[in-house]
Amino acid sequence: MLAIQPLPTLVPLATVPPWQSGPAVAQGLPATYTAVPSLTPVTALPPTPTLAPTATPTPLPTAAPSPTLDVAPNLFPQPVFLSYLNQAPAVVDCGQGIYFRSQFPSAVDGPWRTYSVYLPPCYGQDGRVYPVVYLIHGSIQTDSHWLDLGLARYADTAINSGRSAPFIAIMPYSDELGNRTSGGERSVEGITVNYLLPFVDNAFCTWATAAGRSIGGISRGGYWALEIAFLHPDLFSAVSGHSSHLRFETDPARYNPLATYATANLLAMRIWLDRGETDFLRVGQDQLHNRLLAAGIAHEYRVNPGGHNDQYWLAHLAEYLDWHAAAWPKDRLAYPPCLK
């Protein structure tokens, strides 16, 4: 576990200017999300070598207090709505979830960092906690990447139909740290473990244990998801890497999942790996699969038609979200009350 670093003195979150007038414009970030067409269910293709984990019962969540950190209470303000909605609704209705962009405090590359969040239908009305999936974007994308692929639309449909457990999705913006660091306290890893997770568990109604958290990522985000989960298996119950960027030439062994799997306790971790047949990063992904296989570490590995692009990830988005949600109870009443 990384040590929690002291946070700097911060301005109140309410004074943060709207996204359009802030520093984001200079970074080339989108002011709004791009509409995407409705997804058509994709027929699952037969996997190439797969070591499927043995099904184990998922423990029902129990009420747990939010983590207590040695920082001032006002460092965990309620999230503010920035670009994606003109006005924050009082509650999320029971037909459609919402998504918006906000900020959280961080002493690393802060004082504020950006994230997007999807809240499921009925959030705030049924008084329950929710499991959370943390989803990390690729190297040339932003925190809108998963939403641009259609996450909110698919999640609404799957949750309302009873196909999926209700869940919160947190999508942080990695910015240049995602590409110029490999791990450690002053990286995406440190920010996620020390600042993002505690903030989310304090600001939202979350199932705040490893059983209620999973993490996944696309391309460079797949590296980060695997890096964080393998080094912090006590924080997550599942990890997925989609077209993951895995190379020793880029990331040293002390952080690289190609090496850290050997010393990580992954017995209770659900692991999903997939790639396109023509993915230019396929060598590293095959290496991780083969090493997990040789070590007897249960995981799923799928090779599908396609390359390393949005078209491939769009085609499999439904599979990714279904896989993360599969371990969680679908019945809202199975979750304890939110104590916030």
Instruction: Encode pLDDT of 252-303 as tens digits.
Output: 999 999 999 999 999 999 999 999 999 999 999 999 999 999 999 999 999 9
Report the alpha-carbon distance of residue 227 to residue 247 in Å, rounded. 12
- Expressed in percent and rounded to 5, the helix, strand and coil fractions of the chain are 30, 15, 55
Q: Which range has the worst mean pLDDT, 32-41, 80-89, 213-222, 253-262?
A: 32-41
Helix (H) or strand (E) holding 318: helix 310-325
CA of 26: how far to CAs of 21, 145, 153, 180, in Å?
Answer: 10, 19, 29, 19
Which residues are CB-contacts of 140 (< 8 A; sequence separation ≥ 6)?
none
Q: Which is more confident, 168 or 24? A: 168
pLDDT at residue 125, as a whole number: 86
> Considering the entire predicted model, what is its pTM?
0.78
How confident is the prediction for the chain on average, in pLDDT? 80
| Amino acid identity for residue 212 in this structure | G
Joined tokens for residue 187: 């990286």
Looking at the DSSP assignment, which residues form a beta bridge with residue 218?
242
pLDDT at residue 288, as a whole number: 98
CA of 228: how far to CAs of 165, 188, 257, 320, in Å?
Answer: 24, 9, 9, 18
Place of tokens 């998801």: 225
Q: Show the domains of the chain with their CATH numbers.
A: 64-334 (3.40.50.1820)
Asked if pLDDT for residue 14 goes beyond 50, the answer is no
